[in-house]
Amino acid sequence: MKRLLKGGRVVDPVNGIDGVQDVLIDGDRIARVGRDLPADGAEIVELRPELVVCPGFIDMHVHLREPGQEHKETVATGAAAAVAGGFTAVACMPNTSPVNDNANVTAYILGKAAEAGLARVYPIGAVSRGSKGELMADIAELRQAGCVAITDDGRPVSTALLLRRAMEYAGMFGMPVIEHCEDPSLKGDAVAHEGYQAAALGLRGMPGACEALGVERGVLLSELTGSAFHVAHMSARASLRAVRKGKEAGIAVTCEVAPHHFTLTDEALAAPVAYDTNTKMNPPLREAADRDAMLAGIADGTVDVIATDHAPHHYDEKQVEFDRAPFGIIGLETAVSLSLDRLVHAGRIRLPRLVELLSVNPARILRLPGGTLAAGAPADLTVLAPELKVRVEAAAMRSRSKNTPFDGWELRGGVAATIVGGRTLYVNSAVAGLKL
Amino acid sequence: MSAPVTTAVDEARAATALRRKDLLGIADLAPDEIALVLDTAEAMKEVGERPIKKVPALRGKTVVNLFFEPSTRTRTSFEIAEKRLSADTLNIAVASSSVVKGETLADTALNLEAMHPDTIVLRHSSSGACHLLSRICRSAIINAGDGMHEHPTQALLDAFTIRERKKRLAGLKVAIVGDLLHSRVLRSNIHLLTKMGSDVWVCGPPTLIPADIARFGVRATSRIDEAVADADVIMLLRVQLERMEGAFFPSLREYFNVFGMTEARLRLAHPDVIIMHPGPMNRGVEIASEVADGPYSVILEQVANGVAVRMAVLYLLSGGAGDEAAA
């Protein structure tokens, strides 16, 4: 079955396209992109010119919680949240229970993803068995089973030696090591960013240097091993500096920033709701200078990827004292609106750069199909409605958990539709006249 | 509905009221609210000096003292204050509560709330625990110390004691010395004293000075001689031995040598200096016994004034000014 999307603005940076063009989908593949393509028997879908057709967005950092913590999220509910948030694919972290450190767990996750039939799910395997930081996991087996990267996310790889060996070993398959950068001794039992807000609220703080030490370590080892090193959820300005210097030196380092880290600062811990546990995540919301550095890094190209670190937690788990609450917030269903509002409409970047951050670069780093509308590529498309007025409603989200600090926020820009493998899996009813 | 109160209390009441349901911290109090509490406490102090130390201000009101941390001084002080105001009081300490069975703080609070207390006085080891309670309870919440955040009634009784001795707060040099990082007493005192116009200096080893302390409007130094020079008030903070897990300084002996309040250091201060300590004291660590027991010490006056200040807070929140209780 063929479908011809006509009249939308196509933004496909890999192929240098930014303009009103038609996209011809043949089955689960892109057949052609060009001006005024002939219908040639295809079903015609008329798009209004303010809608933007992009290669499908990929969130390379989500926690789907299955197996083991299905009360927070499942592969199916997470994949549903993904398509509702404009993501055609997600890469899920291995800190499930049991940890995804062997082919059985990987296969289980992939089976659940196939059953759900929504966003594509790419598992990420553990660096070490049980993510305990002692012995390497069976990395080749994980790779064969379908893992696209390795990480001990939730914690840093325990020692420089293990990180070095993991990089060397995973480098054999061209798999990046993704690192939760943090010096554990400097973190201690901190629950917030070390600064005025933590001091005023009486919360134990971790400084930006705690993260940057981990970044520096990884950059040095990437230089030593020649293997790809990816910094997860970067938040501190000193980390950005380390990544920038590494890139200038030609080291294979990449990094991602989460929407909450380019949107919020640690002031959110004090107001509007003091000690709101939905402002507690690791790395923590940092001070304005750090947030501004993330925005600058996104604008100047140092930051490669926007990833959500989607971390669902049950209401009960968050309805506790701040220092006892788990770290993390959900992000799949707010990332695109926050990015459009805070980055594009704020004039910091233009749409092609946004597509690089959300689609092209994650596909490149994880070596995934996608990130392009070239003929033969998977028909994974994210259609944006950049002018749509969006009101964030946690209760209406597809994710099983509702732990977001953005509930009630009004943002400019949203998702119009999400197409995965040629199938339309999400259509936003708030976008007028959209028939997909 | 206004509760019957004594004439003395009526006279002491300013035109303003506490514009809040709870007392969670000093940070969100306005200077006139602080002054109202201190003025009201003066009248309450007089109640404590009578042969019959009881007024009916909180008759028929139920106050729950919910203490998740061990405390003798603060809990006793609140309890005496509540009884002098004729409230029905109930003490729940962590060991005898259902918390050991794994109940959450929120559930504990909701269960208490179901029995319609008017006020809950909460002491908890987690910063912000009172804010959590405040969001889910209709009762007035009084913070009796939450983690490293605030201990507002301590700062109020400290201010009351200073004002009683010095007749003012504005323009005084107040030096606060000790473990600044972990101290809720410090945070409440900084907020209160800077709001009331005092010149606040804080002093401790750099490992125990919170980040960005200058943004609190205080002068920070690790040179104790500089901190106490010409000080009108010196307030020592407890070195919290139980929180020194991370080796913040080499030894207690060295701490005393560098930061301990000795008679020699006392001579650098203003001739009329007063020495304060929120207790419990570590003699020979943050304060020499000769100083603690010496003529400049007002440490026991602080304890005495604690009852009057807590009476004022209880009264103003649950029976006196404001109309939340009538809802």
Q: Which of A321, A322, A323 to mutate to test the interface with B (most CBs of B within 10 A)?
A: A321
Q: What are B303's two structure tokens?
A: 């304890």
> Which pLDDT belongs to residue B99?
57
CA distance A211 to chain B (A): 17
> Which pLDDT belongs to residue B1?
37
| One-letter amino acid of A13 | P
Q: What are A383's two structure tokens?
A: 């259609």
- Chain A residues touching B185 at Cβ < 8 A: none
The pTM (predicted TM-score) of the whole model is 0.93
Cβ <8 Å between B187 and A202:
yes
Chain center to CA of A88: 12
**Cis before A49? omega within 30:** no
Distance CA A182, CA A240 (A): 14
Contacts of A262 (CB under 8 A, 6+ apart): A291, A294, A295, A298, A306, A338, A342, A343
H or E stretch at A45: strand A43-46
Q: What are A338's two structure tokens?
A: 């926050």
> Which pLDDT belongs to residue B6?
44
Distance CA A334, CA B274 (A): 56
Instruction: Report pLDDT digits (tens) over A13-48.
Output: 999 999 999 999 999 999 999 999 998 899 999 999
Cβ <8 Å between A323 and B148:
no
Q: Quick one: closest CA in B to A275, which residue?
A: B128
What are the start-end ranges of the E strands in A203-325?
205-206, 229-231, 253-257, 305-306
Q: What are A426's two structure tokens?
A: 């999400």
* Backbone phi, psi, residue A428, to 5°: -85, 115
Contacts of B153 (CB under 8 A, 6+ apart): B23, B74, B78, B142, B143, B144, B306, B309, B310, B313
Q: Which residues of chain A have pLDDT under 50?
A: none
Mean pLDDT by 10 residues, chain B (327 residues): 44 59 96 96 95 94 94 94 96 67 86 94 96 95 97 98 98 97 97 98 96 95 97 94 72 92 97 96 95 96 98 86 35
> Which pLDDT belongs to residue A429?
95
Instruction: Report pLDDT digits (tens) over A325-367.
Output: 999 999 999 999 999 999 999 999 999 999 999 999 999 999 9
Q: What are B84's two structure tokens?
A: 């002098």
* Backbone phi, psi, residue B56, to 5°: -90, 20
Cβ <8 Å between B127 and A322:
yes
- Angle at B211 (CA atoms; ends B208, B217), nearest 5 degrees: 105
Q: What are B4's two structure tokens?
A: 């019957």
Distance CA A245, CA A360 (A): 23
- What count of CB pairs under 8 Å joins A to B? 69
Considering A309, A316, A341, A380, which one is annotated as catalytic?
A309
- Chain B residues touching A323 at Cβ < 8 A: 126-128, 147
> Which pLDDT belongs to residue B246?
53
- Chain B residues touching A207 at Cβ < 8 A: 211
DSSP letter (8 states) at residue B136 = H
